[in-house]
Amino acid sequence: MSPQKRVKNVKAQNRISQGSNSFQTTLSAWKVKQGPSNSKNISKHGQNNPVGDYEHADDQAEDALQMAVEYFEKGPVKTSQNKDKTLEKHLKTVENVAWKNGLASEEIDVLLNIALSGKFGNAVNTRILKCMIPATVISQDSVVKAVSWLCVDKCSGSTKVLFYRWLVAMFDFIDRKEQINLLYGFFFASLQDDALCPYVCHLLYLLTKKENVKPFRVRKLLDLQAKMGMQPHLQALLSLYKFFAPALISVSLPVRKKIYFKNSENLWKMALLAVKQRNQGPSPEPLKLMLGPANVRPLKRKWNSLSIIPVLNSSSYTKECRKKEMSLSDCLNRSGSFPLEQLKSFPQLLQNIHCLELPSQMGSVLNNSLLLHYINCVRDEPVLLRFYYWLSQTLQEECIWYKVNNYEHGKEFTNFLDTIIRAECFLQEGFYSCEAFLYKSLPLWDGLCCRSQFLQLVSWIPFSSFSEVKPLLFDHLAQLFFTSTIYFKCSVLQSLKELLQNWLLWLSMDIHMKPVTNSPLETTLGGSMNSVSKLIHYVGWLSTTAMRLESNSTFLLHFILDFYEKVCDIYINYNLPLVVLFPPGIFYSALLSLDTSILNQLCFIMHRYRKNLTAAKKNELVQKTKSEFNFSSKTYQEFNHYLTSMVGCLWTSKPFGKGIYIDPEILEKTGVTEYKNSLNVIHHPSFLSYAVSFLLQESPEERTVNVSSIQVNKFTFIMLRDFIQLNFIKRIYAFPFFQTLSLLPPQSQNEVFAFQIHSNDFNVNLLALILSSLI
């Protein structure tokens, strides 16, 4: 195969795998994505283009293809100056489309005619023939028409050879073969041609039926054999004849000799695989996990089938094996078992769930959403173990950094990981094999290879004791985290957020299910909460250090606050007795940030913390009894402390008294005279743009901008309006903080904070009072 072709093959493959590459993590998005692509398949070209779910750029390619086909149909324009250029362009178009998506049967019909009619030169004919790759099928009529061109002898010998090779290679994709079989005599006559003989033999071998074996043909074949010697292709055909009509052939043929035809398909090997995959077509399953069974494997893998993931087969063997020992009653029971191959829909699964035959290789469930449902609800230990063993070993063997610098292989591994992650998302549950794989591979990971997949695997680590997993995973992750770019840091934080969410979901389910199932981990609730809080502290530690390393990057801070948005709502959203506050490094960075949206996010988080803490306090008061999970007064104190500094900064203009304490001398040294005001709602650096635009709106003719002249009430109202206008799509929760301010009655500012805030326990209630009085 020429290197040029090879490149194209790769392209074709990439193209194929694309569909499975781009998926969303959420289940709903995933469902949605499946929908339109299927419907499009049906609408477009009828049957001919089931791979239609690629980008719309294909439409353009199709137009170009149409033009190219028309060009070839018209034949070469003799006078044209840049004839060669145009020809080349159109050829390229055809080739590209053919290797990418295959050609529709009508296009093949036209182009095949052109190639064999000899309108163009030999080289062009060859190139056209080489790219006659069907999208799905080739119509029988095209082949018959093409063969008729062979009779008029317009094309060269080499083109004929190539045509026969093509015919053999594509034989399985021809929709019907009756008429082609009628041409048997013609093909047989072509055996005379020495150059064609091997390929014609192969074609006849594929085509021969019992009724084609006639004495005169046998004689002819034997003559040929006498003339040309023991040719493997002739022997093959003869032995087939002998098989159909043993009486006609008396010569002995070597029995044990292996005879292969020369590989006519070689030219199209990759394309054939692609067509096969396309022909598998969309299956009637409601949710199909792509990466179909015909996923292309490199040839070196001689062992297993094409895909890493085994093909679904019900375990017919065990049935056979046990047949002997089975009693009658067993037999009767067994007759009720439901073969997997017939399982097509969810209702079927429900009806037969008690008598489903399990696949012979458990790994095959990865590709089948129905069976994923099944293994999700049977808690059968051997089933899970079989899956576990298979997945662990496969992951380890396929992992690319054991086999360096193999791009194709790397791509395949990525796809495999994607499939696993999709299955995990689908089940909303992590696999233990993946966790074990991470133990081994994370310490060796460079942080680049399959990054998004690896981080997603991290986010699906099943819930377990954090302190136990930390030395195996999170310590290694921290090393990578600190030494990598800010984008890596952000993606790690993102996946840790997802991990937290998965753990919380799992735990909140588990608490309610506890009486029914014995949970996989026999943990006490206290132990679980401890583990979660350790995870949160770990992320807090990562974030604080990262803020320092990245010099308080706003971008990073967004991701950190995203994480704390999950954290602050644990008590209410997940009904779990846990409130962990953020570390001061994060709080103050956010408070003094130059970005309004950060400050806004912070306010939201503080607001949610308050809701959670008040809810917790309420429950405590209601229950009266001291439960194990009363929060310590420290949490409340800490929260109040944060809130005090926040209010001090933004509202009461007493920024450095409580909360952030800075020695007045140092403040004097800075030379800022009005430091007390400089962080309040009007002067806060992140609000500066709002303040200025407010002033310009109020008094457009004013030359000098004096921010201090702004009245707080009106300003907050306008600012709120602008802010919401600017941000309402991005952040719906822009509301709480600004709402409180804007609805403030005039003159109330001082009244409200006339309350002294004590650092006692009950402060949450007090603050609730303050805030509710604001509203």
Partner 1 sequence: MDSYDVPESTPSASSRPEDYFVGATPLQKRLESIRKQTSFIPTPPRRKVPQCSQLQEDVDPQKVAFLLHKQWTLYSLTPLYKFSYSNLKEYSRLLNAFIVAEKQKGLAVEVGEDFNIKVIFSTLLGMKGTQRDPEAFLVQILSKSQLPSENREGKVLWTGWFCCIFGDSLLETVSEDFTCLPLFLANGAESNTAIIGTWFQKTFDCYFSPLTINAFNLSWMAAMWTACKVDHYVATTEFLWSVPCSPQSLDISYAIHPEDAKALWDSIHKTPGEVTQEEVDLFMDCLYSHFHRHFKIHLSATRLVRVSTSVASAHTDGKIKDSVS
Residues that bind partner 1 (CB under 8 A): 205, 232, 235-236, 239-240, 243, 253, 255-261, 302-304, 310, 313, 317-318, 320-321, 324, 360-363, 381-382, 384-386, 388-390, 392-394, 396-397, 432, 435-436, 439-440, 464-465, 468-469, 471-472, 518, 520-523, 527, 531
CB 429, min distance to partner 1, A: 13
First-to-last alpha carbon distance for the chain, in angstroms, is 76
Q: How far is the CB of 356 from partner 1 (least distance, A)?
A: 16
For the chain, the 3-state helix, strand and coil shares in percent, each to the nearest 5, are 65, 0, 30
In angstroms, give the least distance from the CB of 315 to partner 1: 8
Nearest CA-CA partner of 308 in 454, 414, 434, 456: 414
Residue 560 · residue 524 · CB < 8 Å: no
The least distance separating partner 1 from the CB of residue 525, rounded to whole angstroms, comes to 12
Closest approach, Cβ 527 to partner 1, in A, equals 6
Q: Which is nearer to partner 1, 150 or 372 (CB)?
A: 372
| Nearest distance from C-beta of residue 61 to partner 1, angstroms | 35
Q: Which residues pair with 103 in a beta bridge?
A: 134
Distance CA 485, CA 655 (A): 34
Residues 136 and 274: their CA atoms lie apart, in Å, by 10
Instruction: Give the orientation angle of helix 57-74 with respect to helix 83-101, to 10 degrees.
Output: 130
- For the CB of residue 486, give the shortest distance to partner 1 in the complex, in Å: 30
CA-angle at 201, arms to 199 and 205, nearest 5° = 120
CB atoms within 10 A of CB 287: 16
If one counts every other C-beta atom within 10 angstroms of the C-beta of residue 255, the result is 6
521 or 743: CB nearest partner 1: 521
> Closest CB to partner 1 among 518 and 759?
518
Residue with tokens 């997940």: 574
Count Cβ atoms below 10 Å from residue 32 Cβ, excluding itself: 12
CB of 323 to partner 1, least distance (A): 10
- The smaller minimum CB distance to partner 1, of residues 506 and 564, is found at 506
User: Would you tell me how many other CB atoms lie within 10 Å of the CB of residue 68?
Assistant: 23
| Amino acid, res. 187 | F
* Smaller CB separation from partner 1, 532 or 591: 532
Tokens of 347: 């209702």
Nearer to partner 1 by Cβ, of 533 and 677: the residue is: 533
Nearer to partner 1, 174 or 469 (CB): 469
Nearer to partner 1, 19 or 462 (CB): 462
Residue 240 or 770: the one with the smaller Cβ distance to partner 1 is 240
Alpha helices in 75-156 (DSSP H): 83-101, 105-117, 122-130, 140-152
Q: How far is the CB of 346 from partner 1 (least distance, A)?
A: 25
DSSP bridge partners of 138: 174
Minimum Å gap between C-beta 553 and partner 1 is 34
Read off the tokens for 606. 């503080």
CA nearest neighbour of 53 among 269, 45, 94? 45
Of 55 and 381, which CB lies nearer to partner 1 in the complex structure?
Answer: 381
Residue 321 or residue 696: which is nearer to partner 1 going by CB? Answer: 321
Taking the complex as a whole, the smallest distance from the CB of residue 470 to partner 1 amounts, in Å, to: 10
Provide long-range contacts, Cβ within 8 A and 24+ apart, for 747-755.
Answer: 748/774, 749/651, 749/712, 749/713, 753/647, 753/651, 753/652
Task: Give the separation between CA 311 and CA 196, rounded to whole angstroms.
Answer: 38
